[in-house]
Amino acid sequence: MDVHEKLQQLLDERGWTKYQLARKCGLSDATIANIFRRNTMPSIPTLEAICRGYGITLSQFFAEGEMVELTPDLKEVFDNWTSLSPEQKAAAGQMLKAMNQR
């Protein structure tokens, strides 16, 4: 998916107009209109402002699949997971599966 398709998809998902997007991201109506009407590529600072308006990061914008937010709790689990041996990871995985069956 290209940048313009993604921008339109995010508008559609939120049910926003281009005017609403301009207000949310603090850019002028003309800037947003030019991106869509003239099919111009937004600069990185403009795209960052648009992403802030959408409430997402640049990484989330360019991600192909759904991204999961890494909360402090998940980060702690992930950090601990990376230091485990393959055998420990297998045991931890089995334990988590068993806990989820209840």
pLDDT digits (tens, 9 = 90+) for 28-64: 999 999 999 988 899 999 999 999 999 888 888 888 7
Q: Cβ(42)–Cβ(6) under 8 Å?
A: no
Place of tokens 């998809």: 9
Q: Cβ(58)–Cβ(47) under 8 Å?
A: yes
Task: Encode burial over 38-73: b for 16+ CB neighbours within 10 A, e otherwise.
Answer: eeeebeeebbebbbebbeeeeeebeeeeeeeeeeee
Query: In this predicted structure, what is the pLDDT of residue 78?
Result: 82
The CATH class that applies to domain 3-62 reads mainly alpha
